[in-house]
Structure 1
Amino acid sequence: MKNKLLFILSALGALIGVVAAIFYAQQRPPLPPVFQPAANPYKNGIYANGIIESYQDNGANINLYPEVAGTVIRIPVREGQEVGRGADLLVIEDSVQRALAAQQQAQVQAAEAQLAQLKAQPRKETLEVARAQAEASSASLKTVQDQLDKLQRSYALNARSVSQDAMDNAANAVRVARGNLDVARRQLELTRAGAWVYDIRNQERQVDALRKAAAASTALLGKYVVHAPVDGVVMSVNTAVGAYVSSQGTYGTYTQANTPVIVMGSAPGTLAVRVYVDEILLQRLPSAKSGQAMQGRMFVRGTNTSIPLEFVRTQPYVTPKIQLSDQRTERVDVRVLPLLFRFSPPQNVTVYPGQLVDVYLGGTS
């Protein structure tokens, strides 16, 4: 009985082993790929790396840096928001500059008031005082002249009635009174003439200089708000309220380098692709002399989507190849030539500026 049980178990194990061998020996068909790898659509096409950008008539994405340094107190926009030219994008704390602008404006007003005072001369009250002083000097002269005349008449009647000392004192008093009258009259003429023309010109120059200084201070005050230079979209805000920014931008924690505080792109619609072609492939690119048109097709990574590209221009300057995101500083020996294409995104595909894509260039020789 025991041997019979062992035989049955052995037979059952052998059967299980045969079934398992048959089962695992079968080759299952591989799963279909999620997307097809990019294939060269051109007979003599060449491959290149590309990066999506917002389309600009000239240049690339707009990197914005504040012209002054300070602490950010307000960011009235958000990433992805469409803004018009001149819209406020970032506000920097400006209390010191605002106080300085107000002080210089007050200095302008004081200088203008002083200039108006000079031009308003002579003052009526001052002129009346000068006229009264002249009249008083004239009256003093008449008094001492009358006294001298009396002494001279007395001396003519009796020489012993008046001493020579009295005559001399009276004559000197007349001369002093005449001098005082002459000074009073000249002072009256000076007061009547008003401010000296050179004083007015000097004050006008002072007012002009202070106005320009106040205008410069006010203009600098306006730099504490970063405005949108064009109509477009805010693609990236790299700072926050309370952070310190300067003309060098803001410090990036991840990149460990200064980055622009805000990156703007053109309005939604047409996008651009900046393609970098290795220098060893430049001779295969079509030229104007060959009469061939540059063709390009972009493949969106992770999808089966390919989009035809329209050639815009060549940036005729070969540069060292770096990472397309421009976030690292090391360079390599390979140099590349940038080409710019543009395209209109299909409705069923979502792409973003900064996205890396595969590009094949056609029309090559």
Structure 2
Amino acid sequence: MDTPPREVSFCFKESTSMTSNPRQALVWSTMVLSLSLLVGGAYLIAKNTPRLPVVPTVFPPPAAPLLPDATSELVAGVGIVEAAGENISLGSPLSGIVIKVPVAVGDRVEAGAPLIELDTRAARAAVAVSRAEVRAQQARLRELLAQVENRQAKVAAAQAAIRQAEATVAFAHHELQRVEALKGKGAATVEELELRRLNHETETTRLETARASAREAQSDLHLLVGAEGATPPSVELQESLIAEAQAALQRDEVQLELHTIRAPGPCQVLQVKVHPGEFLPANQLSTPAMVIGVTEPLHVRVEIDEADIPRFSDTARAFAIVRGRSERQVPLTFVRREPLVTPKTNLAGGQRERIDTRVLEVIYSVTADELQATVGQLVDVYIAGQ
């Protein structure tokens, strides 16, 4: 019950001491007055400063071309400048380290010119192995053909052995008949007759062996020379092995060639997104390694709203206006229209522009000197409506 009066008494004493000091009171009064003057001055400056109106930058819309043969409103569309035959996004069929990029943006190259070169060490080693295999298989074929004379000599020797065996058998048969005749007259013993009969059987067996050897030698020879007008089996087999080795060599040479990406035709390099030392993955076109195209003449791909398709004509005159140069109206030459109507992708930026619509793509041609625009640039196109 006594604590609150003591706290109030203390605060009262401290407040009394502060107000009783005239110097301290003067300092506080000066600070409050300075702050009030500062706030008041800032308010007066802000109130009396004139505000300049914010005027947005407005670009004048391109003037529609004057077409004397237009009998109704013009058909307008947004066109994008592209290379003739469309822009070509280059990728790689193989993955590898980029060794060299011998072209730069803007270069004009001929058909077959190297554009990107990958590391070819492994591919060159595979080609060397395949070439060695082809040479080995060809050497085996030459070895087989060199054995023809040897096989022919074996056949001749076997035939000579047959003739010799036939003569021996004939002689043994004659001796057997002679001894049989003498035995009938009692002039020869049984032992002599059995000996002649055994000799005849032995020589007959040798004749059969010689004939079998001759057939074997002839078969070996046919493996190399074959029948008349036919390819020998062993030679045919070896030739098939040579053909297989040559096909493997051709495959490896194609793989080696694929490590160099070449221009498909005369074109200009429009964009380069790969550099030496980088790893180039195979079949990646979301970010193409390089973009090329034929820039003379240029093509303008125009998107015509589906509501204007009935009023469009292939033979109608068309003009292009490059944005920022509305005074120039460049005539266009009709090339073709795409048969498929697709969703709208290029937006002109107008307030009344519809985006939930489909468009007909029409391609026009124009020279680069006349259009004076670069690939990828948007232009406004006006076509005489029907």
Give the TM-score band, short-chain normalised.
0.5 to 0.7
The aligned counterpart of 1:175 is: 204
Aligned equivalents of 2:266 and 2:66: distance in 1? Answer: 38
Structure 1 residue 201, shift from structure 2 partner: 4.3
Instruction: Give the letter aligned to residue 256 of structure 2.
Output: L
- Cα deviation code 1:75-114 (max 9, x no counterpart): 2211111100111111233444444444444444444444
Aligned equivalents of 2:126 and 2:193: distance in 1? Answer: 73
Aligned equivalents of 1:305 and 1:206: distance in 2? Answer: 73
Aligned equivalents of 2:74 and 2:202: distance in 1? Answer: 117
Partner secondary structure for residue 270 of structure 1: strand
The within-5 A match list for 1:245-264 is 245-249=281-285, 258-264=286-292
Any gaps of 5 or more consecutive residues in structure 1?
A: 1-16, 250-257, 325-331
Of Structure 1 and Structure 2, the greater helix share is in 2
Structure 1 residue 310, shift from structure 2 partner: 0.9
Aligned equivalents of 1:320 and 1:35: distance in 2? Answer: 28
Q: Is the 8 A contact 2:63 2:327 kept in 1?
A: no
Partner secondary structure for residue 105 of structure 2: coil
- TM-score, normalising length: structure 1: 0.68
Structure 1 residue 246, shift from structure 2 partner: 1.3
Q: How many residues end up aligned between the 2 structures?
A: 316
Moved more, 214-223 or 233-242: 214-223
The within-5 A match list for 1:1-365 is 36-42=60-66, 44-54=73-83, 56=84, 59-118=85-144, 122-123=148-149, 125-132=150-157, 135=160, 156=182, 159-160=188-189, 162=191, 166-187=195-216, 189-190=218-219, 194-196=224-226, 197=230, 198-199=232-233, 200-241=235-276, 242-249=278-285, 258-267=286-295, 269-285=296-312, 287=313, 293-301=316-324, 306-312=328-334, 313-323=336-346, 333-345=356-368, 351-357=373-379, 359-365=380-386
> Percent sequence identity over matched residues?
25
Structure 1 residue 204, shift from structure 2 partner: 4.3
Q: Is the 8 A contact 1:63 1:260 kept in 2?
A: yes
Instruction: Give the letter aligned to residue 239 of structure 1.
Output: V
Between Structure 1 and Structure 2, whose CA radius of gyration is higher? 2
Aligned equivalents of 1:283 and 1:133: distance in 2? Answer: 95
User: Using a 3 Å threshold, how does the CA distance of structure 1 residues 240 and 201 change in structure 2: closer, same or farther?
Assistant: same
Any gaps of 5 or more consecutive residues in structure 2?
A: 1-43, 68-72, 348-354
User: Using a 3 Å threshold, how does the CA distance of structure 1 residues 344 and 184 change in structure 2: closer, same or farther?
Assistant: closer
User: Using a 3 Å threshold, how does the CA distance of structure 1 residues 34 and 191 change in structure 2: closer, same or farther?
Assistant: same
Aligned equivalents of 1:360 and 1:142: distance in 2? Answer: 108
Structure 1 residue 340, shift from structure 2 partner: 2.2
Partner secondary structure for residue 304 of structure 2: strand
Instruction: Give the letter aligned to residue 330 of structure 2.
Output: P
Aligned equivalents of 1:183 and 1:148: distance in 2? Answer: 21
